Amino acid sequence: MLAVGRIEEVRSNEIKNHTQRVAIISTMIAKKYGLDEEQVHLIELAATLHDIGKIGISDFILNKTGPLTDEEYDLMKTHSTVGEEILNHANRGVLQTAGRSAQEHNEKYDGSGDPRVIKGDEISMYARIVAIVYVLDALFSTRVYKDVWPMENVKILLEEQRGKHFDPEVVDAFFECIEKLIIANNELTDSEE
């Protein structure tokens, strides 16, 4: 699954090892969140496909060196729906979970996200975990439009977004394993970042 999930990394100039980081860190948070061994294994596999829908986004948008226009940003947001469409006919539980995570990882706990504008427990628990890791990975990585965020700023953002963007229990799980997450992130960060 990791190999399939890395498809979008091949096309992007910026997100090397993103898929692996999201899978590993989602797994660590899932354990602290209290998921059982089978559910933890499921999120480890499913998280690798959260961005599979980016194969439907043009290289121009994926590799743009400046800020996206509103129209480009709207196109980029469609990767959630494209990912779900790719995976929605699967009979295997892991692919069904991956499909929901692909579609729902940009939802927000308070219902202000997209594409379905669902909230709280309507969002799959797997997607609620992937959502926080997805944002964390972006903050801990260099992008053409921003530098790596300091940990203190990340902590402040998580507290501010607790119950808004992020499930409060997932935020708590993050803080319970923060040292291990930092180590894992640093080990998986590309040398050029």
State residue 27's pLDDT score: 95
Q: State yes or no: pLDDT of 117 exceeds 80.
A: yes
pLDDT digits (tens, 9 = 90+) for 20-50: 888 999 999 999 999 999 999 999 999 988 8
Cβ contact 89:97 at 8 Å: no
Catalytic site residues?
Answer: 54
Bridge partners (DSSP) of residue 143 are 146
Weakest mean pLDDT among 83-87, 110-114, 135-139, 187-191: 187-191
pLDDT at position 155 is 93
Confidence of residue 1 (pLDDT cuts 50, 70, 90): low
In SS3 terms, the chain reads as CHHHHCHHHHHCCCCCCHHHHHHHHHHHHHHHHCCCHHHHHHHHHHHHHCCHHHHHCCHHHHCCCCCCCHHHHHHHHCHHHHHHHHHCCCCCHHHHHHHHHHHHCCCCCCCCCCCCCCCHHHCCHHHHHHHHHHHHHHHCCCECCECCCCHHHHHHHHHHHECCCECHHHHHHHHHCHHHHHHHHHHHCCCCC
pLDDT for position 16: 63
Q: What pLDDT is attached to residue 192?
A: 42
Rounded-to-integer distance, Cα 139 and Cα 126, Å: 20
Q: What pLDDT was estimated at residue 193?
A: 41
**Do 185 and 140 meet the contact criterion of CB atoms below 8 Å apart?**
yes
Given CA atoms 12, 14, 17, 23 in this order, what sign does their dihedral have? negative
Angstrom distance (rounded) from CA 25 to CA 106: 17
